Amino acid sequence: MERRALGRTGHESSVAILGGAAFWETTVDVVAAAFERAVAAGVNHLDIAPQYGMAEDLAGEVLPQYRDGMFVACKTLQRDAAGARAELERSLGKLRTDRFDLYQMHAVNSDEELAAVLAPGGAAEALVRARDEGLVGAIGITGHFQQVPRLFRTALERVDLDTVMLPVNAPMLALPDYRAHFAALLDVAAQRNLGVMAIKAVARGPWRTEDHHATTWYEPHRDPAAIREAVRFTLSQPVTGFCMPGDVSIHPDALAAAEQFTPLPQDEIEARIAAADRADALVS
C-alpha cells in the first residue's frame, strides 16, 4: 500500500487509516481481526477517540502487540484545558501506551466550538502543553461539516497545529463555498507542511430511510466498485490518507481500494465534482 508523508510529523502514513469508529460496540475478536487484516494490507496508522463507544477499551486489548509499528492518533471532545488533559490521560491508560503520536481536538464544527477551544484555558492550551512535554508527538484538529475548512484556517492563525482532518469527497467539493475554503486550507497546509487527512471518503450521503444497513452515521457506499472509485477520488486530492469507515464490514473493500489506487486525472476529478449531487453532502 502506498505511503505518504503526514506533513512535518516525520511519519510516512499508509493511505488507508484504521478508523476506530468502527469499534463502537463490537467484540475484542472483531477488533483483533480488523487490526490483523489492516496491518497485513500495510496499514500503519490508527485513528481513535473516547467518543467511539467501547473502541478504546477494545483496542486496548489488541494495540500493544502492534504498537511499535503503529502511529496512534487520538482525540478529545473536551473544550477546556483541564478536561482535555484529563481525557488525554484516560485515553493513554485505556490504550495501554505512554504516548500518542498525534492528539487532536475532535469535531470542532462551529464558530462557538472553535472559540471555546481557542479561548484562554481552552483545549488548545492543553494540546500545546502535551506536545511540549513530549506526551504527544503532534497536535491537530478535526471536523465534520460544511464550515470546517474555514474554521480550520482560523485555528491555524492562532495555534501551531501539525494536522487537520475533514471530509473529502465529491459531494462536499461540489459545494462552492466548501471547495473554495478547502482550496485555501490546502494552500496553508502546503506552506506549513501540515498533514491533511480525509474522512467520509466512502460516504454516499445522509441516511434517507429508517433501515440502516451499516453502523456509520451516514449512508456508505456498499458496492465494491463504488467504494473503489470513491476512495480513488479522495486519494487523488492532496491528502495523506483517508480514515476507513465506521463499519468493519466495509473495511475489506476499503483496503482493496487503497491497495488498487491509481490517481484520477484532473479533468476526471472536475467531471465527478460537476456530476455530484449536492444533496449527498453531509453539511450538518
How high is the pLDDT of residue 212?
78
Q: Is the pLDDT of residue 283 over 90?
A: no
How high is the pLDDT of residue 215?
78
Helix then strand then coil, in percent of the chain rounded to 5, is 50, 15, 35
Binned at pLDDT 50, 70 and 90, residue 273 comes out as very high
Q: Is the pLDDT of residue 284 over 80?
A: no
Q: Is the pLDDT of residue 214 over 90?
A: no
Mean pLDDT of 184-212: 94
Question: What's the grid cell of residue 268?
Answer: 476526471
- Specify the pTM: 0.97
Sorted by where each starts, the structural domains of the chain and their CATH numbers stand as 3-280 (3.20.20.100)
How high is the pLDDT of residue 82?
99
Residue type, 270: E
Tell me what the pLDDT averaged over the chain comes to. 97
In a 13 Å sphere around the CA of 210, the CA atoms on its Cβ side amount to: 0
Q: Is the pLDDT of residue 205 over 80?
A: yes
